[in-house]
């Protein structure tokens, strides 16, 4: 790159040209980024969107020279920052840029801050390092920054340690550190993935506000297309190490050109797709080492032609500033895949009746570990579940939704209440022997596909284990045959039974988790966030599978999730939980379309929507965090954050208000 | 012949148990795959060969017999004057019989490896009547691979004879400590409650007693000897592994796959044996092998304090203990320490390499095929 060409693009803040990065794995080199090119103008927000393994984080780390050495190797390419190649800089030059002119926010606010230093000190450190100001001035500036990122009472928070702050507050502190030197470029790597929806919305608003205030360009790295819909100026979609499509935001959402982008957009579940099968992309993101000479998406592309497998497509201009790396990008592809309907499931008899369930965890303190109080994880929850029905239990982290699921299978001990399973009596009061028979009927699928399977057992051993315990099948051969049949149902080959969990992708493992649950012929399956760890395209596959399986076996699902878009697609009924209480319950369309409780309204407002209807948000965003369940507020648990709270809300828990025969909420001022 | 069987019953029983458990394991799929995996690992194979050699020597040294003492004058079997029982000699192991040529090669005192002369000079009256300092020639010149010690015994022979002591200390202590650590660690971690409290208090009490003091007291009460030493060291050393296993079990207990198994109704003993213990094995293997080496070293330290194995048992510890004074001489007598060191490294290093290979082979995530 000569200086002449550099002067031709004076406007570009950063220009990534044909970046190739690979990782050493033993003697082999596995590519991670395979020819990524993009550029950003000052003050622009570019969203780099891709599924896990697409190389988006590696691209970001290369900009800051933070690639792990010597494992990672930049094979070729340039990253020009103001026309200077970052890749050629030495450590001293890079340190001048890092945190000063380019800074970064990481995904996990829990580990990104040093736990033994106060947050104020960590902000001041950056200022003293790059601005060389005195400790006293740094303190003043750090407090000002804390105020700017919306931390209440910044002067006293300055001397707090990270553990004293909530996840959302820590992410605010991270942003304060990143923006301390007013950088020209902020790289945000999945900044809200670890946060709840209401907090996610706060953080995204904060980034947007500060971006305009400081004129900082933002490179937002995310897997969440809906999040990008609101704030990004331009979007670049990454797949298998290269950028397959980039366009201004509205252009991309209106006229996606690459089949991958089209499918990704269509595989996002929302309530408009009820009763339809989600468009899912078969298979999962390939390893870059397995990709042939052709288009990396060709093996999963429903429109792939022979040419796609042999020839790498170049960037084609589809519209204004709209590039797509596809041979057929300019051809109309609207009728790519027809959406087929899923037959509606008739709900049957009442299977599970949960009455006033309470799970309190004792807090032990002091001499002889006396009980000093209780964490009221679940505090009086009543729900009914019918055969063939999906009941979604929705709430933010810490609201007790997972504890409800665990109490039903007695992984957590219920303090009070009953859960009557038809034909078996109260599950929570059964003795050990009777409970063993019930375990067969209530099964659970877990969130993390990587920790839910024993790494040292083959898939076959994991699946037949439950059959062994319940003496299903006369002998080992019969159980094996049954396991093979179940594997076929969840879409995996019988040969998979002899393999170990690490040989499968996340989506495949979640299929195995479902197969393990189905092996004992349950009536109720508790799905605990079972799609939230998966990529969007894989999530669609699993959601489709869950629907098919429910139809075939006439199962009841208790679907525990924080993701409202999945709820709208999958659930028949929805129960919204806050601080151990169900605040609103009703049919899915009732709760999602006409929410009555202010918390439900806020939750729906905070969730990013793909259809772009967020311009007319029905309710303001929530401020603050969920109070601790160890010392819940008196009266209505939500009154501390409620925009319409009155004095009487603090007096007592609001009684149940019926809005329709199927829809009720606990609020003194329900909104209709 | 039956005398021979009787005298070696413990060794034979141990060998039979070992063979039986090896046969049992070889029928299991996981271990068969692991064995295949190890066969492809040259370093592990070499380590195994060295370990087998050490093991073979230890077994040979454990198989022995005593012969009746023959009265040299009458040619009859000697009998106790009062009881009339047959008097036996000190006894010799199979290894002693094999090493007889080396054992017999006695010198007067120190000699360097492969030397043909004694290490220290003596004053001698030469043929001309003048006193002169000479280094007298050895009885067995250039035959001592690692030289001889103060009393003229072959050092290499001592090293070989110490193998059995080292192996017994390493293995017996481990065999005593590991089952305790697994039992307490897994139960305390998985069941929690009063069981956890009890195990924690027991562990805290044991750890608060200084190890050396505990072993010294133990040896004073129960007498000095190899079995007592192993027992004392075993009791004193299970707490470290116990803590590791308890912590890991606590983590595993809340792992989703254990919760899933519980929710499916898998019995507790099956959860422990299929889900918890196999996922602890890597810790057990590594700790065991690391401990194996530190226990061989601890034996040396204890011998130095005079509470190790008895003076009549050859061990690397006692060799190192002897070398203490030799190292202060000028010129330094280095070969006894070096020999003990080389023999110990020769055992500990392959043990580490082999244990690593076994751990990797047992982990399905790390298998190459």
Architecture of domain A1-42+50-90+223-269+296-339: 3-Layer(aba) Sandwich (3.40)
Summarize the confidence of residues A142-160 as an average pLDDT.
88
Q: Are A361 and A377 in contact (CB under 8 A)?
A: yes
pLDDT greater at residue B181 or residue A195: B181
Contacts of B71 (CB under 8 A, 6+ apart): B77, B78
**Domain A350-614+652-665: top CATH class:** alpha beta
Instruction: Provide the 8-state DSSP code for A107.
Output: S
* Residues of chain A in Cβ contact (below 8 Å) with chain B: 406, 409, 411, 436, 439-440, 442-444, 446-448, 451-458, 461-462, 465-466, 468-470, 500, 502, 513, 516, 520
Which stretches of chain B sit within 8 Å of chain A by CB?
30, 255-267, 270, 274-275, 278-279, 362-365
pLDDT exceeds 50 at position A274: yes
Number of H helices, E strands in chain A: 22, 24
Residue closest to A562 by CA, chosen among A392, A412, A408, A381: A392
pLDDT reported for residue A9:
46
What is the average pLDDT across A461-469?
A: 91
B276: nearest CA partner in chain A: A454
Nearest CA of chain B to the CA of A519: how many Å?
10
> Strand A217-222 to strand A185-189: parallel, antiparallel, or no bridges (unpaired)?
parallel
Across the interface, which of A444, A470, A500 has its CB nearest the CB of B260?
A444
Residue among B256, B270, B365 whose CB faces A451 most closely: B256
Q: How far apart, in whole angstroms, are the C-alpha atoms of residue B115 and residue B224?
A: 37
pLDDT at A338: 52
The yes-or-no verdict on residue A6 having pLDDT over 50 is no
**What pLDDT score was predicted for residue B120?**
81
Residues A244 and A238 sit within 8 Å (Cβ to Cβ): yes
**pLDDT, tens digit (0-9, with 9 covering 90-100), for A218-260:** 999 988 888 888 788 999 999 988 899 999 988 888 888 888 8
User: 């063979």: which residue's tokens?
Assistant: B19
d(CA A138, CA A135): 5
Q: Binning pLDDT at 50, 70 and 90, where does residue A195 land? A: confident
Pick from A313, A172, A306: nearest CA to A242: A313
Domain ranges of chain A: 1-42+50-90+223-269+296-339, 350-614+652-665
pLDDT in tens, B60-70: 988 888 777 88
Q: How far apart are CA A47 and CA A574, in angstroms?
A: 32
- In this structure, how many other beta carbons lie within 10 angstroms of the beta carbon of residue A599? 29
Per-residue pLDDT tens digits for B233-242: 888 888 889 9
Q: Which helix (H) or strand (E) holds A617?
A: none
Confidence band (pLDDT; 50, 70, 90) for A346? low
Determine, for residues B257 and A411 on separate chains, whether the beta-carbon distance falls below 8 Å.
no
Nearest beta carbon to residue B263 from set A443, A454, A462: A443
Query: Which residues of B are less than 8 Å from A436 in CB distance?
Result: 265
CB within 8 Å: B256 and A440 = no
Give contacts of B256 with chain A, Cβ < 8 Å.
446-448, 451-452
Q: Which residues of chain B are under the pLDDT cut of 70? A: 1-6, 367-369
**CATH domain B155-366 topology:** MetI-like fold (1.10.3720)
Kindly state the tokens that stand for A652: 């007592």
Residue A3's pLDDT band (cuts 50, 70, 90): very low
Please list the alpha-helical segments (H only) found in A149-237: 154-157, 167-179, 197-214, 225-231
Contact A466 B266 (CB under 8 A): yes
What DSSP string describes A347-395? Answer: --SEEEEEEEEEEEEEEEETGGGEEEEEEEEEEEEEEEEETT-EEEEE-
Per-residue pLDDT at B211: 85
pLDDT digits (tens, 9 = 90+) for B277-287: 989 988 888 88
Q: What is the mean pLDDT of residues A382-407?
A: 91
How confident is the model at residue B312, as a pLDDT?
77
pLDDT band at A46, cuts 50/70/90?
Answer: very high
Of B260, B265, B364, the CB nearest to A456: B364
Q: Is the pLDDT of residue A80 over 80?
A: yes
Q: Provide the pLDDT confidence category of residue A624 given band limits of 50, 70 and 90.
A: confident
Average pLDDT over residues A318-340: 70
CA distance A57 to chain B (A): 25
The span from the CA of A362 to the CA of B304, in Å, is 53
Closest Cα partner for A63 from A46, B136, A630, A653? Answer: A46
The string over A305-321, giving b where at least 16 C-beta atoms fall within 10 Å of a residue's C-beta and e elsewhere, is eeebeeebbebbebeee
A436–B365 C-beta distance less than 8 A: no
Nearest to B365 among A448, A455, A465 (CB): A455
Burial of B52 (0-12, 13-18, 19+ CB in 10 A): exposed
pLDDT bin (cut points 50, 70, 90) of residue A612 is: low
Per-residue model confidence (pLDDT) at position A616 = 45
Indicate the pLDDT class of residue A301, thresholds 50, 70 and 90. Answer: confident
Q: Could you tell me which residue, A335 or A194, shows the higher pLDDT? A: A194
- The lowest-confidence range among A25-29, A521-525, A630-634, B32-36 is A25-29
Name the more confident of A152 and B252: B252
CB atoms within 10 A of CB A115: 9
The answer, yes or no, to whether residue A325 has pLDDT greater than 60, is: yes
Nearest CA in chain A to B279: A456
Q: Do A465 and B263 touch (CB under 8 A)?
A: no
Distance CA(B206)–CA(A669), nearest Å, equals 63
Quick check: A2 pLDDT over 50?
no
Residue to mutate among B200, B253, B256, B279, with most A CBs inside 10 A, is: B256
Domain boundaries, chain B: 2-43+64-99, 110-146, 155-366
Structure tokens at B45: 């194979």
Q: How confident is the model at residue A1 (pLDDT cuts 50, 70, 90)?
A: very low
- Indicate yes or no: CB of B265 within 8 angstroms of CB of A439: yes
Contact at CB, B264 and A452, closer than 8 angstroms: no
First-to-last C-alpha distance (Å) of chain B: 50
């Amino acid at each position: 790159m000569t200086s002449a060409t550099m002067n031709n693009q004076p406007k570009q803040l950063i220009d990534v040209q044909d970046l190739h990065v690979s990782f050493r794995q033993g003697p082999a080199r596995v590519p991670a980024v395979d020819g990524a090119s993009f550029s950003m103008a000052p003050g622009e927000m570019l969203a780099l969107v891709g599924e896990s393994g697409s190389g988006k984080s590696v691209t970001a780390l290369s900009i800051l020279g933070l690639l792990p050495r010597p494992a990672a190797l930049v094979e070729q390419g340039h990253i020009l920052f103001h026309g200077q190649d970052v890749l050629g800089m030495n450590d001293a030059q890079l340190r001048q840029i890092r945190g000063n002119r380019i800074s970064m926010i990481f995904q996990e606010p829990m580990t990104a801050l040093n736990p033994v230093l106060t947050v104020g000190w960590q902000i001041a450190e950056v200022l003293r390092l790059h601005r060389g100001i005195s400790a006293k001035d740094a303190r003043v500036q750090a407090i000002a920054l804390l105020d700017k990122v919306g931390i209440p009472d910044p002067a006293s928070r300055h001397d707090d340690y990270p553990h004293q702050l909530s996840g959302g507050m820590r992410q605010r502190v991270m942003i304060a550190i990143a923006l301390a030197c007013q950088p020209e470029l902020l790289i945000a790597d999945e900044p809200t993935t670890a946060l709840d929806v209401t907090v996610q919305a706060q953080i995204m608003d904060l980034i947007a506000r500060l971006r305009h205030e400081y004129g900082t360009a933002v490179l937002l790295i995310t897997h969440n297309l809906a999040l990008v819909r609101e704030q990004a100026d331009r979007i670049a979609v990454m797949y298998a190490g290269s950028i397959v499509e980039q366009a201004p935001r509205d252009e991309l959402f209106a006229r996606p050109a690459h089949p991958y982008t089209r499918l990704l957009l269509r595989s996002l579940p929302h309530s408009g797709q009820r009763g339809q099968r989600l468009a899912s992309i078969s298979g999962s993101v390939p390893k870059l080492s397995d990709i042939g000479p052709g288009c990396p998406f060709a093996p999963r592309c429903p429109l792939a032609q022979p040419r796609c497998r042999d020839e790498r497509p170049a960037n084609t201009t589809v519209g204004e500033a709209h590039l797509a790396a596809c041979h057929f990008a300019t051809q109309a592809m609207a009728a790519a895949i027809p959406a087929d309907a899923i037959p509606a499931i008739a709900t049957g008899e009442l299977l599970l009746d949960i009455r006033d369930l309470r799970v309190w965890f004792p807090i032990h303190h002091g001499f002889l570990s006396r009980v000093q109080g209780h964490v009221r994880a679940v505090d009086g929850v009543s729900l009914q579940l019918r055969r063939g029905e999906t009941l979604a239990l929705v709430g933010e982290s810490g609201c007790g939704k997972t504890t409800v699921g665990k109490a039903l299978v007695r992984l957590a001990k219920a303090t009070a209440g009953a859960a009557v399973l038809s034909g078996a009596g109260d599950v929570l009061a059964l003795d050990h022997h009777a409970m063993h028979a019930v375990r067969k009927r209530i099964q659970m699928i877990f969130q993390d596909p990587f920790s839910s399977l024993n790494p040292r057992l083959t898939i076959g051993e994991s699946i037949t284990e439950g059959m062994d315990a319940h003496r299903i099948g006369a002998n080992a051969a019969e159980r094996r045959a049954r396991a093979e049949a179940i594997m076929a149902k969840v879409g995996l080959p019988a040969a998979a039974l002899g393999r170990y969990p690490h040989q499968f992708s996340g989506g495949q493992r979640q299929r195995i988790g479902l197969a393990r649950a189905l092996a004992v012929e349950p009536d109720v399956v508790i799905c605990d966030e079972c799609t939230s760890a998966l990529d969007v395209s894989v999530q669609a596959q699993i959601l489709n599978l869950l629907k098919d399986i429910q139809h075939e076996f006439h199962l009841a699902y208790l679907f525990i999730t924080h993701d409202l878009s999945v709820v709208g697609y999958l659930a028949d009924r929805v129960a919204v939980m806050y601080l151990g209480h169900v605040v609103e319950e009703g049919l899915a369309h009732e709760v999602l379309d006409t929410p009555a409780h202010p918390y439900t309204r806020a939750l729906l407002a905070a969730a990013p929507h793909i259809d772009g209807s967020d311009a007319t948000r029905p309710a303001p965003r929530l401020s603050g965090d969920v109070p601790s369940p160890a010392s819940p507020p008196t009266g209505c648990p939500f009154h501390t954050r409620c925009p319409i709270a009155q004095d009487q809300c603090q007096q007592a828990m609001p009684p149940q208000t019926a809005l329709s025969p199927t829809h009720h909420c606990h609020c003194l001022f329900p909104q209709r | 012949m039956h005398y021979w069987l009787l005298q070696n019953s413990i060794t034979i029983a141990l060998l039979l148990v070992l063979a039986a458990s090896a046969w049992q394991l070889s029928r299991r799929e996981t271990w068969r795959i692991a064995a295949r995996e190890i066969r492809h690992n040259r370093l592990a194979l070499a380590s195994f060969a060295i370990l087998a050699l050490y093991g073979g020597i230890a077994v040979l040294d454990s198989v022995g017999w005593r012969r009746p003492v023959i009265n040299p004058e009458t040619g009859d079997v000697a009998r106790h004057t009062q009881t009339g029982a047959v008097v036996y000699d000190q006894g010799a192991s199979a290894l002693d019989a094999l090493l007889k040529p080396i054992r017999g090669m006695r010198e007067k005192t120190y000699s360097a490896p492969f030397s043909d002369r004694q290490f220290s000079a003596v004053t001698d009256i030469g043929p001309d009547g003048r006193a002169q300092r000479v280094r007298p020639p050895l009885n067995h010149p250039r035959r001592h691979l690692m030289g001889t010690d103060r009393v003229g015994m072959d050092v290499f022979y001592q090293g070989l004879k110490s193998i059995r002591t080292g192996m017994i200390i390493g293995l017996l202590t481990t065999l005593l400590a590991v089952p305790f650590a697994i039992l307490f660690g897994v139960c305390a971690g998985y069941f929690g409650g009063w069981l956890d409290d009890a195990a924690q208090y027991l562990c805290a009490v044991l750890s608060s007693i200084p190890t050396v003091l505990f072993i010294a007291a133990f040896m004073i009460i129960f007498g000095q000897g190899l079995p007592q030493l192993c027992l004392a060291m075993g009791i004193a050393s299970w707490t470290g592994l116990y803590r590791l296993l308890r912590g890991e079990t606590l983590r595993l207990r809340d792992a989703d796959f254990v919760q899933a198994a519980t929710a499916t109704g898998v019995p507790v003993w099956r959860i422990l044996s299929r889900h918890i213990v196999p996922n602890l094995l890597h810790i057990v293997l590594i700790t065991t092998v690391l401990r194996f080496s530190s226990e061989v070293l601890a034996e040396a330290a204890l011998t130095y304090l005079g509470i190790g194995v008895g003076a009549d048992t050859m061990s690397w510890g006692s060799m190192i203990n002897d070398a203490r004074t030799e190292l202060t001489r000028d010129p330094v007598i280095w070969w006894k320490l070096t020999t003990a060191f080389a023999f110990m490294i020769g055992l500990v290093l392959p043990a580490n390499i082999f244990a690593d290979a076994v751990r990797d082979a047992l982990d399905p995530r790390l298998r190459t095929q």
